Every structure is written in structure tokens, then in C-alpha cells.
């Protein structure tokens, strides 16, 4: 790309962030919800948090990750809806198709957020602006949704830019100097990697703003080590991170978990729930052709203490074998009331290693064993798992099924 003024943009990066994504989809599909405080997440009488909310709800101080009961205290007349993850996932796929039509360098951060490196697709900054606005227009026209776009020289600057004019905004940060001038008097949380814990450490040291970071570089590096070095770099507008297209095989693990609406001390119920979670893990692993070389069990107790237990294994994508290993791990944990249970595979690879049928069930025997387990669950809960198991992969169905099991265990 040709030189633009005194600073040459070596990379041109867009950060695209959908506006109140879940809530916007619900309002698009149900016009009666428009203009009202809509909160997507757990329901007020349930455990959980806010996933997202409309901008009308944000006027009450509600935000994502807020405890749902606090949200209800602030906005008792709001409209509360559980998330429809399958619908949002389908819309996200449509959005990604639009993003991918402009550049192969798309790093998806979430259903509703991504970085796009368009350096090789343009010759000058004006062409970059055209792409940014075209993406906004296509999303609006094809999906009836809005997004905010930041155009910048780095990932940090692009994300900062996309947040400047929300909702339905567009903003540019074309040089490190522009970035520093924009954020220098903002809270340290404006810098990448500075979350709650790091910000508290900085506050306690008298460092509250980006300007404070720039004036205390050596002290921050001494206090935070490598993270401190990065924070100092970001405070000077320097961010060399590349846009790295995400691939399933780059993931470190595949897991699934559920939170009970009431703590349970029934560990036989946990074993039954682990069957369904293992099936979900198997489904995703086989979809991407991945195998795990380790299995992990996760529990969060009623006192919010979380533990993980893991074991190394052969290359595995089988629900039965995942479940069996998870059961073994479950036998050796403290038997306290449980709030959340999860299972996963880690150390992923695309290569399957042959194992001895003397040690493990072959595919046919696994199918027979699975049928026996599902029949046992059918008798216990009067639910037809065998004919409807594919529905369990949908988040909403899984959570409703687990809650039904908790209430009807016998």
C-alpha cells in the first residue's frame, strides 16, 4: 500500500463488532421488542448472568456478565429472554461468509466479533474505507443488523476504534500517535491485556491512566514482568500481533459444561449428565476430525470453588471412553454440593493412534455399550435419548434436559 502522510501503515486491519448481537437478532425477529430494555441471559429467578442486552437496557447500568439478579434489581420491568444459541450461531455463520468474501485473513474472536487484515486487498486508505463501509452496508442489507467498524494500523487500535462510535459506528486510528493521543488520559483498562486483576495491581501502585503507564515504564515492567513489557508497548501505540485466521485444530481443547439451577449432591446424577456432555464433546470432535490425547473433568462446587482433574490417554474421540475416564476422575474428588459439571478432551490432534481391542472396546462394542447406557437413562428419566440424541447438542435443549433430570432423578 502506498505511503499515507508521515506514517506508513504497514498493515490495514479492520475490527468488526456486531451491536448488541443477541439482543439485536431477537429485536429483528420480533419487532415488538424494539426500543425496550431487552436482557438476554438467565431468567431473573435462575442462576446466571447477562449475556448481552439492548442499548435501552444499558441505560439502567446493565452490562454483559452482570449477575442476573442484579440486572433484575436495576430493571425489574425489563424483558428477559434465554439465549437461542443455535439461532445466533446460524446468523454468525452468515456474517462470517460476508467477512470471508473480502479477505482470507479473518480472525474470529466470537460469534459477533472479528479482525480482518485487508492490507493485500487495497492500494490506498480510500480503498480500505470503501471495504469497511461495504461490509457495514452488506450486513445491514442482507441480515438487517448493524455493526461497528474500526479501521487502524494494528489490532489494538482497530478494536479501540470500533468502540468509539457504537452503535452502528465507524472510526479510524491511522498511526501510533493518533492512538496515544486518543487514549492517553483514559483508564489503564483501555490497554490490551489489562483486566480486573491487573488494573487493581496498577491502581494500588498509583497508576490509573495510560499517561501514568507511560510515566512509570520501568516500575510497571519490574512489577508485572513480560505482561508489563506488553502494557508499556501498547501504551506507546505499538502492537505487532498479526491477524491469525482461526482453525478448529488450533484449539487447545473441546469441552462442554452445564450449570445446575440448584446445587446437587447426587453424584449418580452427575454420572448421567456426564454421558450427555461426553456425547456433545464427541460430536464436535468428529465434526472437525480431531482427537484428544487427554480427558478433563471440571467441577464448580456450591461455594464457587472450581477444580479440574485430568488424565492422559490415547487419541480419543469416543463418547463412551470420554465418559468412562470422566467417571474414574469423578470417583476421586471431594463429594461436596456441585454447581457446575463439565468434561472435555485436550492435547488435540488430527491423527488417530491405533489401540488394542484387548484394552478398549471397538467401535461396534462402543455402540452397543452406548445403547445400553441410553436405555438406562430412558428408564430412569422416561426420556427417549436414543432417537433424539442429536437434539442434545443444542445448548438450550441440553440445559433444559439436565434440569429435568435433576428434578426427576429416581
Q: Which of 113, 172, 282, 325 is catalytic?
A: 113
Return d(Cα 246, Cα 407) in angstroms, integer: 40
Return d(Cα 110, Cα 23) in angstroms, integer: 15
Return d(Cα 13, Cα 160) in angstroms, integer: 12
263 in helix, strand or coil? strand
Question: What cell was used for 96?
Answer: 462470517
Residue 349 vs residues 212, 245, 280, 281, 344: alpha-carbon distances, Å? 44, 18, 18, 14, 14
Listing DSSP states for 337-401 in one string gives: -EEEEEEEEEEEES-PPP--TTTS--HHHHHHHHHHHHHHHHHHH---HHHHGGGGGSHHHHHHH
**Partners of residue 342 on adjacent β-strands:** 257, 298
**Partners of residue 254 on adjacent β-strands:** 345
Q: Active site includes 403?
A: no
Return d(Cα 23, Cα 78) in angstroms, integer: 13
52 in helix, strand or coil? strand
Q: Nearest 5 degrees, angle CA 109-CA 113-CA 118?
A: 90
Which residues are annotated as catalytic?
113
Amino acid at each position: 500500500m502506498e505511503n499515507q502522510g508521515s506514517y506508513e501503515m504497514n498493515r490495514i486491519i479492520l475490527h468488526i463488532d456486531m451491536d448488541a448481537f443477541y439482543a439485536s437478532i431477537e429485536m429483528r425477529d420480533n419487532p415488538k421488542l424494539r426500543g425496550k430494555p431487552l436482557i438476554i441471559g438467565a431468567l431473573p429467578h435462575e442462576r446466571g448472568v447477562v449475556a448481552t442486552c439492548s442499548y435501552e437496557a444499558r441505560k439502567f447500568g446493565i452490562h454483559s456478565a452482570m449477575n442476573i439478579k442484579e440486572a433484575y434489581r436495576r430493571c425489574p420491568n425489563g424483558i428477559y429472554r434465554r439465549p437461542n444459541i443455535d439461532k445466533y450461531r446460524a446468523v454468525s455463520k452468515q456474517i462470517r461468509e460476508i467477512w470471508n468474501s473480502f479477505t482470507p485473513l479473518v480472525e474470529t474472536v466470537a460469534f459477533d466479533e472479528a479482525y480482518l487484515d485487508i492490507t493485500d486487498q487495497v492500494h490506498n486508505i480510500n480503498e480500505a474505507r470503501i471495504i469497511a463501509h461495504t461490509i457495514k452496508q452488506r450486513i445491514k442489507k442482507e441480515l438487517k443488523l448493524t455493526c461497528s467498524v474500526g479501521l487502524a494500523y494494528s489490532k489494538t487500535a482497530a478494536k479501540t476504534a470500533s468502540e468509539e462510535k457504537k452503535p452502528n459506528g465507524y472510526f479510524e486510528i491511522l498511526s501510533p500517535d493518533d492512538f496515544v493521543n486518543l487514549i492517553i488520559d483514559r483508564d489503564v483498562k483501555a490497554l490490551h491485556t489489562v483486566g480486573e486483576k491487573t488494573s487493581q495491581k496498577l491502581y494500588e501502585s498509583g497508576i490509573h491512566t495510560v499517561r501514568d503507564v507511560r510515566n512509570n515504564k520501568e516500575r510497571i515492567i519490574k512489577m508485572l514482568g513480560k505482561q508489563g513489557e506488553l502494557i508499556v508497548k501498547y501504551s506507546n501505540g505499538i502492537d505487532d500481533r498479526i491477524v491469525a485466521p482461526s482453525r478448529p485444530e488450533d484449539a487447545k481443547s473441546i469441552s462442554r459444561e452445564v450449570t445446575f439451577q440448584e446445587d446437587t449432591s447426587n453424584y449418580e446424577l452427575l454420572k448421567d449428565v456426564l454421558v450427555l456432555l461426553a456425547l456433545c464433546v464427541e460430536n464436535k470432535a468428529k465434526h472437525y476430525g480431531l482427537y484428544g490425547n487427554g480427558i478433563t473433568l471440571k467441577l464448580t462446587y456450591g461455594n464457587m470453588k472450581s477444580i479440574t482433574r485430568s488424565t492422559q490417554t490415547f487419541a480419543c474421540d469416543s463418547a463412551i471412553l470420554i465418559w468412562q475416564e470422566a467417571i474414574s476422575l469423578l470417583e476421586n474428588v471431594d463429594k461436596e454440593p456441585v454447581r457446575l459439571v463439565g468434561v472435555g478432551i485436550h492435547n488435540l490432534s488430527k491423527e488417530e493412534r491405533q489401540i488394542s481391542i484387548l484394552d478398549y472396546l471397538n467401535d461396534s462394542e462402543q455402540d452397543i455399550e452406548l445403547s445400553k447406557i441410553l436405555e438406562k437413562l430412558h428408564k430412569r428419566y422416561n426420556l427417549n435419548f436414543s432417537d433424539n440424541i442429536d437434539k442434545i447438542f443444542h445448548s438450550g435443549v441440553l440445559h433444559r434436559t439436565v434440569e429435568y433430570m435433576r428434578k426427576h432423578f429416581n
